[in-house]
Amino acid sequence: MATAPKFDSIKVGDQLKSLVLPPVSRHQLALYCGGSGDHNPIHVDLDFAKKFGFKDVFAHGMLSMAFLGRLVTSWVPQKQVRGLGTRFTSITWVGDVITVSGKVTGKREANGEKLVDLEVKCTNQNGQDTLQGSATVALA
């Protein structure tokens, strides 16, 4: 469980401790299909993926976004997270090794809260960003 850092101790440019995930597996995609309620066969059925022009099945974008969420809640408790968003910038394939990283991009006060803005992203083993996102957390 995360213990929140203090607002005053945070500086723009601070890096969060990265997460390096196990390679994405077909088994994980099957679990995510069931766990997320996203039953699009393109993520689990090779025949279906090929029919629509893909070489293989590929990960749900939301699986990688869940990794962004894990990074943020490894840094602050979830109840202090005010926002999480991302663009899905490239496809994550079976076997890809995803690193989730983040850094502080801003500090501000709004709605009576001290807020810290973060850049968060997923990057594959070739150094290509698969998700480019941002998050906002409230700190004391």
Partner 1 sequence: MQLDKKLIGHTFKPFTTTVEAGKIRLFCKAIGEEDPIYTDEAAAKAAGYRGITAPLTFLRALQADDPNKGGLLRLLNVDIGLILHGEQHFEYFAPVVVGDEVTCQEKVVDIYDKKGGALWFVVQEMEMKDKAGKLLAKGKGVTVVRNPDAAKK
Contacting residue, 13, 52, 55, 126, with partner 1 by CB under 8 A: 52
DSSP symbol at 68? H
Taking each helix axis as running N to C, give the angle between helix 26-36 and helix 61-73, from 0 to 180 degrees, rounded to the nearest 10: 80
Pick 11 or 79: Cβ nearer partner 1: 79
CA distances from 5 to 66, 77, 95, 119, 135 (A): 22, 10, 34, 17, 15
> Segment 66-85, which members bind partner 1 (CB under 8 A)?
66-70, 72-73, 77-79, 81-85
User: According to the binding rule CB under 8 A, does residue 125 interact with partner 1?
Assistant: no
Based on the shown chain and the rule CB under 8 A, indicate whether residue 65 belongs to the binding site for partner 1: yes
- The dihedral built from the CA positions of residue 60, 61, 65 and 67, taken in this order, carries a sign that is positive
Is 64 or 104 the residue whose CB approaches partner 1 more closely?
64
Instruction: Dihedral sign for Cα 15, 21, 23, 26, please.
Output: negative
Residues 82-111 as x/- pattern, contact with partner 1 by CB under 8 A: xxxxxxx-----------------------
Q: What CA–CA distance (Å, rounded) separates 43 from 12? A: 37
Of 13 and 111, which CB lies nearer to partner 1 in the complex structure?
111
Give the torsion sign (CA, 53, 98, 68, 45).
positive
25 lies in the binding site for partner 1 (CB under 8 A):
no
Residues forming the site for partner 1 (CB under 8 A): 1, 21-22, 28, 31-32, 34-38, 40-42, 48-49, 51-53, 60-63, 65-70, 72-73, 77-79, 81-88
